[in-house]
Chains A and B, each alone.
Chain A
Amino acid sequence: MAQSAITKQLDSVEEFERQPVPVGKLKSWKSFLGMYAGEHTAGTEFVIGPLFVAHGASANDIVWGLLLGNLLAVLSWAFLTGPIAVKERVTLYYLLEKISGKKLTTVYNLVNALMFCFLAGSMIAVSATAVGIPFGLTMPTLNDWLPNSVGWIVAVVAVGAVTTVVAMFGYNLVSKFANVASPWMILVFLASAVAVLPELGVHSLSEFWARANDTIWTGTPLEGQSQFTFWHIMFFAWFANMAMHIGMADLSILRYAKKWYYGFNSGAGMFVGHYMAWMASGILYALFLKETSFSTEFAPGPVAYRAAGIAGALTVIIAGWTTANPTIYRAGLALQAIRPKWKTWKVTLVVGLITTLASVFPALVMKLLDFVALYGLILMPMGAVIMMDEYIIPRLKLSQKYAETFNKSFNLAAAVAWGVTLLFSIWLNIVFGVEVFFLGLPGWFVAAALYVVTSYFIQKNKTKGGTE
């Protein structure tokens, strides 16, 4: 009886995968504020901030690089994603299907879902470092790629299972959980950093900048880590969520917005989560390095526990959980777009299992910066395709939503834009040594130009309805 009631509730989760969100279901700006603040004050912030320290970013790089990069990210959400989201009011996957056709969208969705699984996996792994504290879990190090103990696997599976069950109940529950946890979580980040400042030699505000330069963000990378500069920090902050803003994945979220400018609400996530929280976690890691004589152990749970006790460890668990939830939800949407008749909760369950499997590997955490940049880069070209289809294609007297208009299951122009852009990026990386953090910007222009030019040649001899 109870089982059937739960199944009924899960089946009733309606997320408007293949229809515009009706007016009555639009959400207020508060909902997005909580969602963004919660989602971007996450478990991964406990990794990214410390990795900046490990990569030898200087205090100036951090303060100014993060400021400019996060500002560019907010503007990307507000002026690129928001207007298209409220105009179309459909998920990224459904819009892409209309433009690129069913076949190409299926490939995109599979890649997208896999990327989201890996990202959510890293968040679950971060949470597991806190779950393992009472059990004396052997924590992974910066050089670990494979699980180092059975205990690690058990901790990760436990966190993954809980995260998956919550995500199965849909966006509303995720949003409510993020709303409740978010204000507390943000304050714990701030509190834990403030409380340890005296142990880093900061006893007054006037001492902060000097210690920031000589003790926290020293400008010297740890052994085996590459050197980060202002440009690394700025581009990383801008493109950390490239898949979501420039890549348009957040069409799926912002389609619920009453106004396009709700995209500015992403500022809550950027300047709290990707500014304050990255700096705070960097401060905690600097203390850890100082106390352990630069140990290679890399475990956010114990680092937060050292600074804020049980509240700190709980923050790591909940921060990872809060972010993994919408990420698993997004991955579920991506897969469901391939088979719309599948129930949302069943798809989410499968996604959760893949995510949990991925999170067993600490490499996801240790190479998080590279992975985050790579995942944005891989998904970005389709965002450029959507932008061009929305604004440039009609100006050239070509037809928007090619696949839908011409009744096609494959849009060669979108495939060329996607594939060639990625090949171009690989070429830049291999031949010129351009790091993954910097490939997104030139890649976007290449994808946009390729889509417009190829669309022109494909469409110039066609008439609507699919005839030559």
Chain B
Amino acid sequence: MRSLLKILSLIGLLATIIPSFLVFAGVITLDNNKLIMIFGTILWFATAPFWMNKKV
């Protein structure tokens, strides 16, 4: 469960950063970037608190 949460968190972070480079490269629009960033944000905050700061 913990590993799954970590993977989802990582996807959240990647969805936050990668699309901006795609905008820079002219692959996607800035509006699409903003939408994907919201998705990444929600995914990060929905998963990260459940494994960060927790002792194994």
Interface residues of A (CB under 8 A from B): 175-176, 179-180, 183-184, 187-188, 190-192, 194-199, 202-203, 307-312, 314
Contacts and interface: CB of A to CB of B under 8 A. Distances in A.
A31 to B, nearest CB: 9
Which residue among A191, A197, A202 has the maximum number of chain B CB atoms within 10 Å of its CB? A191
A187 B13 contact: yes
A187 B17 CA distance: 6
Nearest to B53: A176
A187 B53 contact: no
A307 B52 CA distance: 28
Interface of B: 12-13, 16-17, 19-21, 23-24, 26, 30-31, 33-35, 37-38, 40-41, 44-45, 48-49, 52-53
A309 B20 CA distance: 12
B41 A194 contact: no
23 contacts: A179-B52, A180-B53, A183-B48, A184-B44, A187-B17, A188-B16, A190-B17, A191-B17, A191-B20, A191-B37, A192-B20, A194-B24, A195-B19, A195-B33, A198-B23, A198-B26, A199-B30, A308-B20, A308-B33, A309-B31, A309-B35, A310-B37, A310-B38
A179 B49 CA distance: 9
A188 B24 contact: no
10 interchain residue pairs of minimum CB distance: A309-B34, A191-B20, A311-B37, A195-B20, A194-B20, A195-B23, A187-B17, A176-B53, A187-B16, A311-B41
Contacts of A192: 20
B20 A184 contact: no
Contacts of A311: 16, 34, 37-38, 40-41
B15 to A, nearest CB: 10
Instruction: State the majority secondary structure of interface residues on A.
Output: helix
Contacts of A310: 34, 37-38, 41
B21 A180 contact: no
Contacts, number: 79
Given A184-B13, A190-B20, A309 B26 contact: no
Contacts of B17: 187, 190-191
Contact of A184 (B16, B24, B26, B33): B16
Contacts of B53: 175-176, 179-180
Contacts of B19: 191, 195
B24 A314 contact: no
Contact of A195 (B12, B30, B45, B52): B30
A100 B50 CA distance: 45
Contacts of A183: 13, 44, 48
Nearest to B41: A311
A364 B21 CA distance: 34
A180 B49 contact: yes
Contacts of B35: 309
Contacts of B13: 183-184, 187
Contacts of B12: 184
A214 to B, nearest CB: 19
Contacts of B20: 190-192, 194-195, 308
B45 to A, nearest CB: 7
Given A180-B48, A184-B12, A314-B41, 20 more contacts: A176-B53, A179-B52, A184-B48, A187-B16, A187-B17, A188-B37, A191-B17, A191-B19, A191-B33, A194-B21, A197-B24, A203-B24, A308-B37, A309-B33, A309-B34, A309-B35, A309-B38, A310-B34, A310-B37, A311-B16
B23 A184 contact: no
A311 B13 CA distance: 12
Nearest to A205: B24
Nearest to A193: B20
Contacts of A198: 23-24, 26
Nearest to B17: A187
A186 to B, nearest CB: 9
